Structure 1
């Protein structure tokens, strides 16, 4: 029998709260809903009163946003002590911020498969009791209201690690995982595909030069044309270039 996980629903739409309770009843009977809230004020009070392990938090509320709730909790306690899953409509800026912060979100209407993926992660994280420092990164990004984020949270079996994007030298695909090579740090393996990070880092000077390799152009040291062509990076790694990427890379090098 699975251990019970205590949770709170915060959404200003009563119908959506009912729908979410129905989904959780079917797909996650181990989750015990302690209470509900519909606003920033009632949400903060409910979290303080119930102290749930998980909060399913809508972004847009009657008197503010879900981010306001987290800011209020940080102001009062100095940290967040609950796992937060955001529920949102298609708000591209917020979704981008979630991805850079390694935070979970569900799009309305909630898809059962996506919910199941999030629930599996909740179980793993709560077993590790790793803390929620990446929420600080999310709020930092939301306060700035800029599209170009400076730091990224990477979540793996050891916990959540926050790095300056400018310190990432390169990323390498390992099946459905991505290995990050980072300046002055050990490599870190993340359970997401290289494609996920190719999209996320495209605006930060990263270029995918091979099916298995995404590089930070700022760390490109040499382009060697012999032996089929390869790159030497600042960490002395020799990175192959796919045939179809050579022309694109040569064009980039001309403009550097």
Structure 2
């Protein structure tokens, strides 16, 4: 049995999450305590040493990230809970951390708990939170950048410098306007979800493209596009109609 602490400024959210954890994770997690602010939460975590904390992002008198910055080392798993902070979600997703959107979905909570337990059992406590927090700050200050988890850390890249993304099993090759390529430890589906609001389109199961860099479309069964990097990319036959509609949408 592993232990947890729930931190949220709203009593109703604490009660709801406590009930869900008690009901659906009773054989995996024991709730040691709850807190409504980071000043109360910090000594609780230091003294009780939970395996997992559920941490609200937006709280008065200090955010969940402010709490994490107080620790020299993170030796517990963190599952963020949030209702709206898009910048935070971007940083969390690309830092391989877990988050739950409110209202909490039971299936997603169970998956997050299972993932946390696997990390505990594998002694994988030390995701680089300092890099993550730095990434979050930079992302908030420059909303047109995203953090890419590359093989040796995280790298911030301008979204409008991405020409296209190519799937490579569990990795994605991100091609930039200057001709360079980043190998990223995220799937192309992750990129599709992240970039769908930035005029990117999944034209093929292996390719996600930025409209800004499409130079030409050539007809065919599905057809092909030519990018500004002079790379020809196939268009899936089943995506053709939707793609052409998107392409013509000014």
Q: 2:172 maps to which residue? A: 180
Q: Is the 8 Å Cα contact of residues 85 and 103 (structure 1) preserved in structure 2?
A: yes
Aligned partner of residue 60 in structure 1, secondary structure: coil
Pairs aligned (count): 236
Q: 1:209 to 1:117 in 2, by over 3 A?
A: same
In 2, Cα distance between equivalents of 1:41 and 1:135: 20
Partner of 2:218: 225
Q: Is the partner of 1:180 in helix, strand or coil? A: strand
Of 35, 38, 49, 2:36 maps to 38
Match of 2:147 among 134, 149, 152: 152
Q: How does 1:213-252 map to 2 (within 5 A)?
A: 213-216=207-210, 223=216, 225=218, 229-231=223-225, 238-242=232-236, 243-244=240-241, 245-246=243-244, 249=247
TM-score by length of 2: 0.71
- Please tell me whether the aligned partners of residues 204 and 234 of structure 2 are also in contact (alpha carbons under 8 angstroms): yes
C-alpha distance in structure 1 between counterparts of 2:116 and 2:127, whole Å: 12
Which one of 132, 137, 154 corresponds to residue 137 of structure 1? Answer: 132
Residues of 1 paired with 2:231 and 2:184: CA distance?
A: 13
Conserved in 2, the CA contact under 8 Å of 1:67 and 1:139? no
Q: Deviations over 1:1-30 (max 9, x none)?
A: xxx323221123344333322221222221
Among 121, 125, 148, which residue is 1:127 paired with? Answer: 121
Partner of 2:154: 162
Instruction: Determine the structure 2 residue equivalent to 1:171.
Output: 165
Deviations 1:193-215 (A, max 9, x none): 62x52241246564433354203
CA distance in 1, matches of 2:45, 2:54: 11
Q: Which runs of 5+ in 1 are unaligned?
A: none
SS at match of 1:52: coil
3-state SS, counterpart of residue 24 of structure 1: helix
1:90 has 2:84 as partner: yes
8 Å contact kept, 1:10–1:58: yes
Q: What is the 5 A alignment of 1:39-118? A: 39-73=37-71, 77=72, 79-118=73-112
Aligned equivalents of 1:121, 1:144: Cα separation in 2:
26
The one of 20, 30, 36 aligned to 2:17: 20
